[in-house]
Amino acid sequence: MYEYKYIALLDIDEVIMPLEGTTWKELMDKILPKALKINPDERASYNVRNVYFLDDLIHDHGWFKEIPKYMHMLQHVYRTKNFTKPGQYVKCFHNTEKVLTLHNHFPLSCLGSGCTSYPIETTDAQLQHYRADCVKTLKKTCEEFRKTSVMDTTIWKYKEPLIQRVSSTLRTLGFFENVNANTNPDISANAVRKR
């Protein structure tokens, strides 16, 4: 925390996705002027709204053949149209100079002016949450979410480097059998050796 201005606490089934640009730094460079225009004090956190990419929404389109089946996030590009409510199930970029303790979703205790948080607009970023189902407390809402799914390929801006790097790493670790180093990285899940 002494090396970075912001940290993010994320689970392995979610990613904060900038809608423009490709890096979190670019995103924060865009967000900070907006936040400071409203209030000249930096916030303790900058929260991103949650949107679900549910497993069963893949059945509407099948598998994308140019993407390995084991690359779950690249394969699942249908999401619920609606986000969860503002402040509900968000994830944040936390200011390391202000935040003392964290909850999974927001800061619990902060220095200075308290645990202030700036809501990042959904036109700038979204928390892409990949799950089989919504959390239990949203079961009823989840049925409504499923009725209005939309295709969202924002993650595909990382597709080529991700496929190459993941395939190269799996090859190096010995997870692929009989795969030439020059082979196209479009390897099906069947080529992954079970361990």
pLDDT, tens only, 19-41:
999 999 999 999 999 999 999 99
Q: What are the φ and ψ backbone dihedral angles of 33, each rounded to 5 degrees?
A: -60, -35
Average pLDDT of span 183-194: 48
Task: Tell me if the pTM is above 0.75.
Answer: yes
Q: What proportion of the chain, given as a percentage, has pLDDT over 90?
A: 71
What is the predicted pLDDT for the residue at 194? Answer: 45
Phi/psi at 87 (nearest 5 deg)? Answer: 80, -10
Q: What is the mean pLDDT of the chain?
A: 88
Q: What pLDDT is recorded for position 141?
A: 86
Which amino acid is residue 191, in one-letter code?
Answer: A
Residue range 128-153: mean pLDDT, rounded = 89
SS3 content of the chain, % helix, strand, coil (to 5): 30, 25, 45
Per domain, the residue ranges of the chain are 6-157
Contact indicator for 31, 118 with CB cutoff of 8 Å: yes
pLDDT digits (tens, 9 = 90+) for 122-137: 999 999 999 998 888 8
Cα–Cα distance for residue pair 13/17, rounded to 1 Å: 13
pLDDT tens digit sequence for 62-94: 789 999 999 999 999 999 999 999 999 999 999
| Lowest mean per-residue pLDDT among 14-28, 49-63, 97-111, 114-128 | 49-63
Q: pLDDT at residue 146 above 90?
A: no
Kindly tell me if the per-residue pLDDT of 100 is higher than 90: yes
Report d(CA 193, CA 195) in Å as an integer.
6
Categorize the per-residue pLDDT at 182 as very low, low, confident or very high, splitting at 50, 70 and 90. very low
Residue 193 φ/ψ, nearest 5 degrees: -70, 135
Query: Do residues 98 and 109 touch, judged by C-beta distance below 8 A?
Result: no
Q: Helical H runs in 39-158?
A: 72-75, 139-147
Is residue 13's pLDDT more than 70? Answer: yes
pLDDT tier for residue 193 given thresholds of 50, 70 and 90: very low
pLDDT of residue 59: 61
